[in-house]
């Protein structure tokens, strides 16, 4: 039988006062200190996670660049930016395929099985009435979710309004303006099922539309383009090929996303200032990542001046800006 250990109580004190314990004030102080430490730690953790996501995003962009180079090795040219009307006219009506650039790269992204199910005419010199979505096989396979095409800092499947089935720029000679058509499918009409992407080709300043001014700044991936790497006179390391695009985020909500089947290329002339549908954009703080024509990946500040961005987009405008906007 265990005997209790004797205690010695000092004269003038009670037995209760001699017991060990923590006061309420001490407990609150400890909780406050823990809260402060967590407040200091969480931003560091979030920053580390974002850094890892940004690195993974850069790797995926690089895979697109390498796929484009492998396509070039096979066909001695880059794929077309998209298959739109030529000469470029307003749409609808949709008298052409409006297939984007990514389907051409699928065999080089370990997605040959997806590529083989696309029945839409893919030759750039052939025009087919009706968009890719009118072909049953192409429509079915367009719903495939391809992980390498989604930035880990974003979720393009959260769009509320619709998904872009194509992007198209055209020149209005009467107004002397270039316009961008975002051809989207509302979710209630099938847009909700489409496979999506955060990566879109660069059309340069405003693409190639017949505009006397803007065509000087045409990019590597434009409407039915067939550019070779040797056509990039400003240098492949200084010319945009692919970039990030959120798709359309207004009034605190995600309205649109891009489909990998149809969203071909975007102009750069509107800058990188916000996440509107007509701009390259991302969720990486302060930057949008681009894959250059040589396969390297470069983060570009959203504060880059528009003229520098236009020169980075052009393949042969005679202006080289090797380090503009880098962050």
Q: Locate all alpha helices (DSSP H) within 16-173, ordered by sequence.
A: 24-75, 102-105, 112-115, 136-141
**Residue range 213-230, pLDDT digits in tens:** 999 999 999 999 999 999
Q: Locate all alpha helices (DSSP H) within 244-305, ordered by sequence.
A: none
pLDDT of residue 18 exceeding 50, the answer is no
Average pLDDT over residues 48-62: 92
pLDDT of residue 196 exceeding 50, the answer is yes
d(CA 289, CA 105): 19
Average pLDDT over residues 142-169: 94
Whether this model's pTM surpasses 0.75: yes
More confident residue, 202 or 250: 202
pLDDT of residue 17 exceeding 90, the answer is no
Q: Quick one: pLDDT at residue 47?
A: 66
**Residue range 75-86, pLDDT digits in tens:** 999 999 999 998
pLDDT of residue 16 exceeding 60, the answer is no
Q: Quick one: pLDDT at residue 46?
A: 59
**Residue range 106-116, pLDDT digits in tens:** 999 999 999 99
- What band does 6 get if pLDDT is binned at 50, 70 and 90? very low
| Residues ≥6 apart with Cβ < 8 Å to 8 | none
Of 203-212, 251-260, 296-305, least confident by mean pLDDT is: 251-260
d(CA 169, CA 263): 12
More confident residue, 271 or 34: 271
- What band does 251 get if pLDDT is binned at 50, 70 and 90? low
**Residue range 256-298, pLDDT digits in tens:** 999 999 999 999 999 997 889 999 999 999 999 999 999 999 9
Tokens of 192: 């909700």
Residue 174: strand, helix, or coil: coil
d(CA 97, CA 260): 14
Q: Quick one: pLDDT at residue 326?
A: 57
Among residues 243, 240, 235, which one has the least CA distance to residue 320? 235
Tokens of 296: 């390297």
- What band does 175 get if pLDDT is binned at 50, 70 and 90? confident
- What band does 42 get if pLDDT is binned at 50, 70 and 90? low
Strands (E), the chain: 162-172, 177-186, 196-197, 199-202, 240-244, 249-250, 253-254, 256-259, 265-266, 287-292, 297-301
More confident residue, 134 or 320: 134
Tell me phi and psi for residue 123, to 5 degrees. -75, 130
Q: Quick one: pLDDT at residue 13?
A: 47
- What band does 30 get if pLDDT is binned at 50, 70 and 90? confident
- For the chain, what percent of residues have pLDDT higher than 70? 87
Q: Quick one: pLDDT at residue 15?
A: 47
**Residue range 87-97, pLDDT digits in tens:** 888 887 778 99
Average pLDDT over residues 17-31: 67
Q: Locate all alpha helices (DSSP H) within the chain, ordered by sequence.
A: 24-75, 102-105, 112-115, 136-141, 306-313
């Amino acid at each position: 039988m265990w005997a209790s250990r004797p205690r010695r109580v000092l004269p003038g004190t009670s037995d209760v006062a001699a017991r060990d314990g923590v006061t309420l004030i001490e407990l609150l102080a400890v909780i406050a200190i823990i809260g402060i430490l967590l407040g200091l730690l969480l931003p560091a953790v979030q920053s580390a996670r974002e850094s890892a996501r940004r690195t993974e995003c850069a790797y995926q962009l690089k895979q697109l660049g390498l796929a484009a180079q492998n396509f070039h090795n096979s066909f001695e040219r880059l794929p077309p930016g998209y298959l739109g009307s030529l000469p470029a006219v307003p749409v609808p009506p949709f008298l052409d395929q409006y297939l984007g650039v990514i389907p051409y790269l699928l065999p080089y992204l370990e997605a040959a099985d997806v590529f083989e199910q696309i029945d839409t005419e893919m030759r750039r010199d052939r025009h087919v009435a009706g968009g890719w979505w009118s072909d049953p096989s192409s429509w079915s396979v367009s719903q495939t979710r391809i992980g390498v095409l989604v930035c880990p800092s974003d979720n393009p499947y959260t769009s509320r309004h619709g998904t872009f089935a194509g992007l198209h720029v055209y020149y209005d000679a009467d107004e002397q303006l270039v316009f961008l058509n975002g051809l989207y499918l509302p979710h209630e009409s099938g847009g909700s099922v489409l496979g999506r992407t955060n990566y879109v080709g660069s059309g340069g300043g405003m693409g190639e539309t017949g505009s006397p001014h803007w065509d000087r700044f045409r990019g590597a991936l434009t409407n039915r383009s067939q550019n070779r790497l040797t056509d990039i006179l400003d240098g492949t390391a200084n010319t945009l090929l692919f970039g990030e695009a959120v798709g359309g985020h207004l009034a605190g909500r995600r309205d649109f996303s891009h489909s990998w089947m149809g969203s071909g290329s975007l102009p750069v002339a509107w800058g990188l200032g916000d996440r509107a549908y007509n701009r390259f954009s991302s969720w990486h703080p302060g930057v949008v990542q681009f894959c250059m024509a040589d396969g390297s990946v470069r983060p570009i500040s959203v504060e880059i001046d528009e003229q520098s961005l236009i020169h980075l987009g052009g393949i042969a405008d005679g202006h080289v800006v090797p380090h503009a906007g880098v962050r």
